[in-house]
């Protein structure tokens, strides 16, 4: 049930600015399982959409921010958030995004509102350079 709600949230995030091609500030969200940086099929789909958006909008930059939930040590969560960001970047590049259009930042552990999966994410924010 939680996964369905998160997928709905993800869909709404991805489609919220579908009508404004020139509007910067597009955001894609990739969710991860607990203590994992593996990309599953829903995550793969989101990354593919983000890469297509970047490739079809010259002059944009994808800022990739990794996050982790607060369970475990701060140091481990910083490394995990950085690893999550890197695997998303690797997939963006594999999907044809120019590496010069991608910036990475691992943010470590963050609090969540409803479920810990909210914190286990990578945000791909696309803005004009």
Q: What local confidence, expressed as pLDDT, does residue 113 receive?
A: 76
pLDDT in tens, 43-101: 999 999 999 999 999 899 999 999 999 999 999 999 999 999 999 999 999 999 999 99
Instruction: State the pLDDT at residue 67.
Output: 94
Q: What is the pLDDT of residue 65?
A: 95
Task: Report in angstroms the alpha-carbon separations of 2 from 8, 105, 114, 117.
Answer: 10, 27, 10, 9
Q: What is the pLDDT of residue 114?
A: 83
Predicted local distance difference test score (pLDDT) of residue 2? 47
Using alpha carbons, select from 52, 68, 45 the residue that is nearest to residue 126. 52
Residues 2-38 have pLDDT tens digits of 443 444 344 434 444 444 445 557 999 999 999 999 9
Helix, strand, or coil (residue 49): helix
Torsion over CA: 72, 76, 77, 81 (sign) = negative
Longest dimension (CA), the chain: 42
Q: What's the pLDDT score for residue 15?
A: 44
**Tokens matching residue 4:** 């369905």
CATH 3.40.50.1360 fits 2-14+25-128, yes or no: no
Q: How far is CA 70 from the centre of its chain?
A: 18
Helical pair 2-15 and 41-56, crossing angle rounded to 10 deg: 10
The pLDDT value recorded for residue 111 is: 85
11-32 CB burial, b ≥16 within 10 A, e <16: eeebeeeeeeeeeeebbbbbbb
pLDDT given for residue 103 in this prediction: 92
Residue that has been written with the tokens 């959409």 in this structure? 49
The structural domains of the chain, with segments of one domain joined by +, span: 2-14+25-128
């Amino acid at each position: 049930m939680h996964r369905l709600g998160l997928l709905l949230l993800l869909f709404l995030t991805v489609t919220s600015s579908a009508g404004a091609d020139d509007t910067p500030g597009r955001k894609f969200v990739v969710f991860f399982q607990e203590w994992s940086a593996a990309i599953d099929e829903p995550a793969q789909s989101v990354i593919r959409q983000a890469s297509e958006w970047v490739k079809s909008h010259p002059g944009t930059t994808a800022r990739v921010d990794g996050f982790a939930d607060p369970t475990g040590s701060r140091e481990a969560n910083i490394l995990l958030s950085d690893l999550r960001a890197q695997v998303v970047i690797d997939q963006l590049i594999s999907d044809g995004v120019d590496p010069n259009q991608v910036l990475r930042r691992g943010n470590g552990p963050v609090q969540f509102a409803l479920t810990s999966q909210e914190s286990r994410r990578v945000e791909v924010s696309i803005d004009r350079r």
